[in-house]
Amino acid sequence: MEALRIGMLGFGTVGRGVADLLLNHQELLAQRAGVPLRLVRIATRTPERDRGLPLGNVELTGNVNRVLDAQDLDVVVELIGGIIPARDLVGRALESGKHVITANKALIAEFGHEIFALANSRGVQLGFEAAVAGAVPVIKALRESLSGNRIDLVYGILNGTCNYILTEMREKGLPFAEVLAAAQAKGYAEADPSFDVDGIDAAHKLAILTAIAFGARLDFSHIDKEGIRHVSEVDIAWAREMGYRLKLLGMARMQEGMLEVAVRPVMVPEGSMVAAVEGVSNAVFVHGDFAGTTMYHGRGAGERPTASAVVADLMDLARDLKAGAKNRVPPLSVPVHHLRTMPIQTSTQRRGSFYIRLAVADQPGVLADITAILAKQAISIDAIHQKGRSPVEAVPLVMVTHETTESRLFMAMEEIELLDAVREPPRAIRIESALA
How far is it, in rounded angstroms, from Cα 180 to Cα 51?
29
Q: Cβ closer to a copy of itself: 129 or 406? A: 129
435: left (phi over 0), alpha (psi -120 to 50) or beta: beta
Instruction: Return the DSSP state at 227.
Output: -
Q: Do the bridges between strand 258-269 and strand 244-255 make them parallel or antiparallel, or are there none, so unpaired?
A: antiparallel
Q: Which of 98, 105, 140, 205 is catalytic?
A: 205
* Binding to a copy of itself, residues 213-272 (CB under 8 A): 215
**Stretch in the footprint of a copy of itself (CB under 8 A) among 48-56, 97-105, 286-294, 396-404:** 286-294
Residue 308 found at the interface with a copy of itself (CB under 8 A): yes
Residue 13 found at the interface with a copy of itself (CB under 8 A): no
* Binding to a copy of itself, residues 148-167 (CB under 8 A): 148-150
Active site residue 172: no
Size of the site for a copy of itself (CB under 8 A): 62
Residue 146 found at the interface with a copy of itself (CB under 8 A): yes
Residue 57 found at the interface with a copy of itself (CB under 8 A): no
Q: Are 383 and 422 in contact (CB under 8 A)?
A: no
In terms of Cα–Cα distance, which of 213, 218, 226 is closest to 296? 213
Q: Cβ closer to a copy of itself: 306 or 401? A: 306
Residues present in the chain in total = 436
| H/E segment holding residue 116 | helix 105-122
Query: Is-cis flag, bond preceding 335, omega within 30?
Result: no
* Binding to a copy of itself, residues 349-408 (CB under 8 A): none
Please pick, from the candidates 127, 305, 396, 426, the single residue that binds a copy of itself as defined by CB under 8 A.
Answer: 305
Q: What is the sign of the dihedral through the CA atoms of 119, 90, 301 and 435?
A: negative
Q: CB 105 → a copy of itself: shortest distance, Å?
A: 18
Residue 279 found at the interface with a copy of itself (CB under 8 A): no
Instruction: Give the type of residue at 49.
Output: R
In terms of Cα–Cα distance, which of 377, 376, 368, 431 is closest to 397? 368
The C-alpha angle with vertex 279 and arms to 424 and 295, in degrees rounded to 5, equals 105
Please pick, from the candidates 11, 164, 296, 355, the single residue that binds a copy of itself as defined by CB under 8 A.
Answer: 296
Q: CB 176 → a copy of itself: shortest distance, Å?
A: 24
Please pick, from the candidates 295, 344, 395, 411, the single residue that binds a copy of itself as defined by CB under 8 A.
Answer: 295
Q: Cβ closer to a copy of itself: 171 or 178? A: 171
Q: CB 122 → a copy of itself: shortest distance, Å?
A: 16
Q: CB 38 → a copy of itself: shortest distance, Å?
A: 14
| H/E segment holding residue 101 | strand 99-102
Q: Do the bridges between strand 99-102 and strand 126-127 make them parallel or antiparallel, or are there none, so unpaired?
A: parallel
Q: CB 275 → a copy of itself: shortest distance, Å?
A: 9
Dihedral angle at the C-alpha atoms of 9, 140, 297, 292, nearest 10 degrees? 160
| H/E segment holding residue 356 | strand 351-361
**Which residues are identified as catalytic?**
205
Q: Can you give the binding site for a copy of itself, defined by CB under 8 A?
A: 17, 21, 25, 28-29, 31-34, 129, 135-137, 140-141, 144-150, 215, 273, 276-277, 288-299, 304-305, 307-309, 311-312, 314-316, 319-320, 322-329, 333-335, 338
